[in-house]
Amino acid sequence: MQSKKTAIEKFKTGAAKPLNLHQLSNELIDGSISALSKCITLVESSKKAHKAEAQKIIEKCLPHTGKSIRLGITGVPGVGKSTFIEALGKYLTSKGKKVAVLAVDPSSSLSKGSILGDKTRMNQLSIDPNAFIRPSPSSGVQGGVTNATRESILLCEAAGFDVILIETVGVGQSETDVYHMVDFFVLLMLAGAGDELQGIKRGIMEMADLVLINKAEGDNLNPAKQARREYQNALHLFPPKNSKISPKVQICSALNNEGIDRGWKTIENFASETKSTGFFDLQREKQAVTALHHSIRYSINQNLASNSAIAKTLKEKEEEVSQKKTTPFKAADTIVKMLLK
Give me the residues that bind ligand GDP (CB under 6 A), please: 75, 77-83, 121, 214-215, 217, 253-255
CA dihedral (139, 140, 146, 152) positive or negative: negative
Output 255 or 271, the one with its CB closest to ligand GDP. 255
Q: Please report how close the Cβ of residue 133 comes to ligand GDP at its closest, in angstroms.
A: 13
Q: Please report how close the Cβ of residue 170 comes to ligand GDP at its closest, in angstroms.
A: 8
Separation CA 96–CA 84 (nearest Å)? 18
Output 79 or 267, the one with its CB closest to ligand GDP. 79
Separation CA 235–CA 121 (nearest Å)? 31
Separation CA 243–CA 273 (nearest Å)? 9
Q: Please report how close the Cβ of residue 181 comes to ligand GDP at its closest, in angstroms.
A: 20
Q: Please report how close the Cβ of residue 254 comes to ligand GDP at its closest, in angstroms.
A: 4
Output 121 or 262, the one with its CB closest to ligand GDP. 121
Q: Please report how close the Cβ of residue 73 comes to ligand GDP at its closest, in angstroms.
A: 9
The distance from CA 20 to its chain's CA centroid, rounded to whole angstroms, is 28
Nearest to 298 by CA among 113, 136, 148, 103: 148
Output 25 or 82, the one with its CB closest to ligand GDP. 82
Output 93 or 168, the one with its CB closest to ligand GDP. 168
Output 215 or 294, the one with its CB closest to ligand GDP. 215
Output 255 or 321, the one with its CB closest to ligand GDP. 255
Got the DSSP string for 255-272?
TTTBSHHHHHHHHHHHHH
Q: Please report how close the Cβ of residue 47 comes to ligand GDP at its closest, in angstroms.
A: 31
Asked if 233 and 205 touch (Cβ cutoff 8 Å), the reply is no
User: What angle separates helix 308-322 from helix 279-306, to the nearest 10 degrees?
Assistant: 100
Q: Please report how close the Cβ of residue 271 comes to ligand GDP at its closest, in angstroms.
A: 24
Minimal CB distance residue for ligand GDP: 80
Separation CA 179–CA 160 (nearest Å)? 22
Q: Please report how close the Cβ of residue 86 comes to ligand GDP at its closest, in angstroms.
A: 8
Output 25 or 253, the one with its CB closest to ligand GDP. 253
Nearest to 198 by CA among 183, 209, 188: 188
Output 106 or 170, the one with its CB closest to ligand GDP. 170
Task: Determine the longest span between alpha carbons in the chain, in angstroms.
Answer: 67
Q: Please report how close the Cβ of residue 238 comes to ligand GDP at its closest, in angstroms.
A: 24
Looking from the CA of 172 toward its CB, the CA atoms found within 13 Å total: 10
What lies within 8 Å, CB to CB, of 119 at 6+ separation is: 126, 133, 135
What lies within 8 Å, CB to CB, of 76 at 6+ separation is: 169, 170, 171, 198, 199, 200
Got the DSSP string for 64-131?
G-S-SEEEEEE--TTSSHHHHHHHHHHHHHHTT--EEEEEE-TT-BTTTB-TT--GGGGHHHHT-TTE
